Amino acid sequence: MRSNLIAGEWVNGTAVPNINPSDTSDVIGEFASGTAQDATDAIAAARAAFDTWQFSAPLERHAILSKTAAELMARRDELGELLAREEGKTRAEATAEVGRAAQIFDFFAGEALRLTGEVGASTRPGVEVAVTREPVGVVGLITPWNFPIAIPAWKIAPALAHGNTVVFKPASLVPASAHALVDILHRAGAPAGTVNLVMGPGRSVGQSLIEGDLDAISFTGSTGTGALIAAESAKRMRRCQLEMGGKNPMVVLDDADLDMAVRVCLDGAYFSTGQRCTASSRLIVTEGIHDRFVAALGEAIAGLNVGHALHEGTQIGPVVDQGQLDSNLAYVAQGEAEGAMRQIGGEVLNRDTAGFFQRPALFTGCTNDMTIAREEIFGPVAAVIRVRDYDEALHVANDTPFGLTSGICTRNLKHASDFRRKSQAGMVTVNLPTAGVDFHTPFGGRKGSSFGPREQGAYAREFYSSIKTAYINAG
Ligand code: NDP
Distance between CA atoms of residues 294 and 284, nearest Å: 11
- Work out which ligand 1 atom sits closest to the CA atom of 170: 9
**From the candidates 243, 265, 366, 376, which is the catalytic residue?**
243
Contact 161, 309 (CB under 8 A): no
User: Which of 209, 222, 437 best tests ligand 1's pocket when mutated (most atoms within 8 Å of CB)?
Assistant: 222
Residue nearest ligand 1's atom 3 by CA: 222
Tell me, in angstroms, the distance from the centre of ligand 1 to residue 216's CA. 17
Residue 453 to residues 145, 242, 461: CA-CA distances in angstroms? Answer: 22, 9, 9
> pLDDT tens across 362-399, in order?
999 999 999 999 999 999 999 999 999 999 999 999 99
Using the mean position of ligand 1's atoms as its centre, give its distance from the Cα of residue 178 in Å. 15
The C-alpha angle 461, 98, 95, rounded to 5 degrees, equals 150
Q: How many Å lie between the centroid of ligand 1 and the Cα of residue 324?
A: 13
Amino acid identity for residue 15 in this structure: A
Q: Say if CB 191 and CB 20 are below 8 A apart.
A: no
Q: Is 243 a catalytic residue?
A: yes
For ligand 1, atom 46: residue with the closest CA: 171
Q: Which residues of 188-202 are buried (b: 16+ CB within 10 A; e: fewer)?
A: bebeebbbbbbbbeb
387 within 8 A of 396, measured Cβ to Cβ: yes
pTM tops 0.85: yes
CB 21 within 8 A of CB 355: yes
Closest CA to 36 of 281, 193, 203: 203
Of 240, 277, 366, 409, which is the active-site residue?
A: 277
Counting ligand 1 atoms within 8 A of each CB, the residue from 100, 146, 322, 450 with the most, and so the one to mutate, is 146
Nearest CA to ligand 1 atom 48: 202
From the alpha carbon of 223, which atom of ligand 1 is closest?
Answer: 32
Tell me if 84 sits within 8 A of 314, measured CB to CB.
no
Those residues with Cβ within 8 angstroms of residue 365's Cβ, 6 or more apart along the chain or in another chain = 339, 340, 341, 384, 386
287 labelled catalytic: no
Distance 233 CA to ligand 1 centre (A): 17
Q: Strand 381-387 and strand 282-286: pairing? A: parallel
Separation CA 140–CA 465 (nearest Å): 14
Q: Whose CA is nearest to atom 31 of ligand 1?
A: 222
Mutate to test the pocket of ligand 1, among 4, 31, 225 (most ligand atoms within 8 A of CB): 225
How far is ligand 1, taken at its centre, from the CA of residue 144, in Å? 4
Residues of the chain with pLDDT under 50: none
Contact between 255 and 287 under an 8 Å Cβ cutoff? The reply is no
pLDDT, residue 474, reads 77
- Which H, E and C letters describe the chain, residue by residue? CECEEECCEEECCEEEEEEECCEEEEEEEEEEECCHHHHHHHHHHHHHHHHHHCCCCHHHHHHHHHHHHHHHHHCHHHHHHHHHHHHCCCHHHHHHHHHHHHHHHHHHHHHHHCCCCEEEECCCCCEEEEEEEEECCEEEEECCCCCCCHHHHHHHHHHHHCCCEEEEECCCCCHHHHHHHHHHHHHCCCCCCCEEECCCCHHHHHHHHHCCCCCEEEEECCHHHHHHHHHHHHHHCCEEEEECCCCCEEEECCCCCHHHHHHHHHHHHHHHHHCCCCCCCEEEEEHHHHHHHHHHHHHHHHCCCECCCCCCCCCECCCCCHHHHHHHHHHHHHHHHCCCEEEECCCEECCCCCCCEECCEEEEEECCCCHHHHCCCCCCEEEEEEECCHHHHHHHHHCCCEECEEEEECCCHHHHHHHHHHCCCCEEEECCCCCCCCCCCCECCEECCEECCCECCHHHHHHHEEEEEEEEECC
Residues 248, 320: Cα–Cα separation, whole Å = 21
Q: Sign of the CA dihedral 317, 323, 325, 327?
A: negative
Protein residue with its CA nearest to atom 25 in ligand 1:
144
Looking at the CA of residue 450, tell me the nearest atom of ligand 1: 41
Q: From the CB of residue 447, how many other CB atoms can be counted at a distance below 10 Å?
A: 17
pLDDT value of position 75: 98
Index of the ligand 1 atom closest to the CA of residue 145: 25
Q: Which residues contact 109 (CB under 8 A, 6 or more apart)?
A: 61, 62, 63, 65, 66, 69, 157, 161
For residue 1, the CA-to-ligand 1 centroid distance in Å is 24
Could you tell me which of 66, 86, 288 has the C-alpha nearest to residue 190? 66
| Cα–Cα dist 276/377, whole Å | 10
Is residue 258 within 8 Å of 289, Cβ to Cβ? yes
Encode pLDDT of 176-234 as tens digits: 999 999 999 999 999 999 999 999 999 999 999 999 999 999 999 999 999 999 999 99
Cβ distance 382 to 341 under 8 Å? no
Query: What's the 3-state SS for 91-114?
Result: HHHHHHHHHHHHHHHHHHHHHHHC
Best mutation site among 142, 154, 198, 439 for ligand 1 pocket (most ligand atoms within 8 Å of CB): 142
Nearest CA to ligand 1 atom 32: 222
Q: Give the distance (Å) from ligand 1 centre to CA of residue 209.
A: 14
Q: Which residues approach ligand 1 with their CB closer than 6 A?
A: 142-146, 169, 171-172, 201-203, 206-207, 210, 220-222, 225, 228, 243-246, 277, 376, 378, 404, 449
Atom of ligand 1 nearest to the CA of 324: 26
The atom of ligand 1 lying closest to the CA of 221 is 30
d(CA 425, CA 406): 6
- Which of ligand 1's atoms lies nearest the C-alpha of 455? 40
Q: Which of 277, 374, 406, 434 to mutate to test the pocket of ligand 1 (most atoms within 8 A of CB)?
A: 277
